[in-house]
Chains A and B, each alone.
Chain A
Amino acid sequence: MSTRDLAGVVVLIAAVGCARTTKVETPNLGKLATAAQIAGWDISVGPDGVGLPPGSGTAAKGAAVYEQKCQACHGAKGAGQPNDRLVGGHGTLASAEPVRTIGSYWPYATTVFDYVRRAMPYTQPQSLSNDEVYAVTAYLLNLNGIVGENDEINARTLPNVRMPNQANFIIVYPPSAR
């Protein structure tokens, strides 16, 4: 047997060995999910806007929602206390006392909608209507000087909102990306 043939056998053994370890039989118990079932659960929104629902809101409308549902934890106009500050902090990230807020830190505006809808208000998550979430998102972006008071925020406009700190994130995965 030539060296070349031997190499071929080694490759074949490796391939068979690999197939044996990767192919595991499963009982196939998954039940087909309907479109309605998926729609009921799929609340994630990517930076491209995929997943944003119908509806809209403005900062002017969002102020009232914020005062009623958010202010007790996040302070008047997002100033913080007792919980996270949501507004300001621009220009502090390289200082000894960085202030990370939606305006100074968050790289994507869609994340505000996604997070408020899934997790806020803390004591009543997933209780706001889509219009309320759009309005609060618009309000928080407006407080940070990123959108105008009467700008309509909806599935079309929100993904186009550019956040000031986006360019300062360095993606290090996979390791070769750095």
Chain B
Amino acid sequence: MRPVARQSRRGFLKRAAALLAATGLVGRGPAAAVAADPPELPSWMKAPGAGFSPYGAPSKHEGKVTRTFARSQAGTTGSGAIRAPLEALEGTITPSGLHFERSHSGVPDIDPEQHRLLVHGMVKRPLTFSIADLLRYPMVSRVHFLECSGNSQLLYQATPPNLTAGATHGLVSCSDWTGVPLRLLLEEVGADRSAGWILAEGADAAAMSRSIPMAKALDDALLALFQNGERLRPENGYPLRLFLPGWEGNMSVKWLRRLKVVPAPIMTKDETSRYTDLQRDGTSLMFTYPMEVKSVITQPSQGITVQGAGLHQISGLAWSGNGTIKKVEVSTDGGTTWRDATLTMPVLARALTRFRLPWRWDGAAAVLKSRAIDDAGNVQPERAKFIAEHGSNAVFHYNAIAAWSVAPNGEVKHVYA
């Protein structure tokens, strides 16, 4: 054991500062500066650190970085969504524990040894596969975003939501997904390729189901087993999920247990009464699969105060379900002038792309916007144009430009501008 240090004047001042910080009488800044500035040797260098842990966890100082803005249907705990805290994250990969979740009847506790995938319908040989079976199949790994088609739906409302970037846009995340190309299993069962569609069903209490076009299944659909190198998290489909790159999230059916090759869409609840987009004339768009080109500035954004005039870095995320981000333009004057942001490499198809731009703030009121353009030529629309075209009732597939106002005191708010 180390001897107890004699109480010094410096140690007393440090404890007093810590006490004042704890009682909220002073800000964190000055107290931290006293402790860490040279020549003071920090306490964590004066004794050995903690031992090894079997599974790492974030620093205790980052405890506020959590999934946020959870909403569940009345009387339920697991029928709803919880969002990734985009404003607290950097880079492009979402930590698995912060990946957004949308579930329709909670997270099932699935025993992987009991779980089976059945592939049947218009096939030569209906087959079942265990998870152990699938782990022996040839796999591929791909970095892709996943976005709930209801992401940023609060921006359909007439007044700007008084919420953070994560709360409005956090139903998007990005992971390194590893799994078996669905095409391989369709070949093994002898699927009739003229069938056109595949019904995918999950093993949750909603038996969540969607009809998937055969063309997508044969193109780039994955039977995902791993997320960011480890097995899928339960809330993201453990032990097996369908993954359809670039398409609305609910089609990537979690806890996948059944694939039925069929001649036409089944017209499940989640492709008719939900996940169809009501237009202003009362018609509804159905089978709006790819998530449109989109971006959002995460630094600065609501809840983050810009600390004084001078040089800052604007940082944000862009993505497109229709391809690769080609360009992100940023405006700091509400859309009058635009500058190209730098895209962080590698820029991958159907993956989150990080953009950054230095910004010398003069301390006056400003409005920040970002506009993404993909390699198919799609341009993220202004909100007014988007609403004029689609109306305010569509609920899903909102992809218009988001704007943040910066007040002279540094406060950032969501605005329509």
- Given A41-B118, A98-B393, does the pair A26, B188 have CB atoms closer than 8 Å? yes
How far, in whole Å, are A94 and B391 apart by their CA atoms in the complex?
9
A43 with B207: in contact, given A30-B119, A108-B272, A119-B105 (CB under 8 Å)? yes
Contact size class for A?
35 or more
- Choose one: B129, B184, B207; the contact of A126 (CB below 8 Å): B207
**A residues near B286, Cβ cutoff 8 Å:** 107, 169-172
Interface size class of B (residues with CB under 8 A): 35 or more
Shortest C-beta distance, A124 to chain B (Å), equals 9
Contact (Cβ within 8 A) A173 B287:
yes
Q: What is the 8 Å Cβ interface bit string for chain A, positions 2-38, against chain B (1 contact, 0 not)?
A: 0000000000000000000000111111111100011
Residue A54 at the B interface, CB < 8 A? Answer: no
A32, B125: Cβ atoms under 8 Å?
Answer: yes
B264-289 with Cβ < 8 A to chain A: 264-269, 272-273, 276, 278, 280-289
Of the listed stretches A45-53, A57-65, A132-140, A149-157, chain B binds A45-53
Residue in B137, B266, B284 whose CB lies within 8 Å of A44: B266
Contact B287 A172 (CB under 8 A): yes
Sampled A-B contacts (14; CB under 8 Å): A24-B184, A30-B127, A30-B185, A44-B209, A45-B266, A46-B265, A102-B273, A111-B269, A114-B268, A168-B284, A170-B286, A172-B287, A173-B288, A174-B213
What's the Cα separation between A42 and B125 when bound, in Å?
16
Chain A residue at minimum C-beta to C-beta distance from B132 = A29
Interface membership of chain B positions 114-135, coded 1 if the CB is closer than 8 angstroms to chain A and 0 otherwise? 0000111000011111100100
> At the interface, yes or no: A69 with Cβ under 8 Å from chain B?
no
| B213 contacts across to A, CB distance below 8 A | 173-174
For residue A76, CB closer than 8 A to chain B, the reply is: no
Q: Which of A118-161 contact B (CB under 8 A)?
A: 118-119, 122, 125-126
CB <8 Å contact, A33 and B267: no
A100 on the interface (CB 8 Å rule)? yes
Q: Is the CB of A108 within 8 A of B206?
A: no
B74 A171 Cβ-Cβ under 8 A: no
Contact A125-B206, Cβ < 8 Å, known A33-B118, A41-B118: yes
Residues of B within 8 A of A118 (CB): 206-207, 209
Knowing A125-B207, A171-B287, the reply to whether A47 touches B267 (Cβ < 8 A) is: yes
Starting from the known contacts A33-B128, A73-B75, 14 additional A-B residue pairs (CB-CB under 8 Å) come to A30-B133, A31-B129, A32-B127, A41-B257, A44-B209, A47-B264, A48-B264, A93-B393, A98-B282, A108-B272, A111-B267, A114-B269, A115-B269, A122-B76
* Given A94-B280, A114-B266, A168-B282, A119:B207 Cβ within 8 A: yes
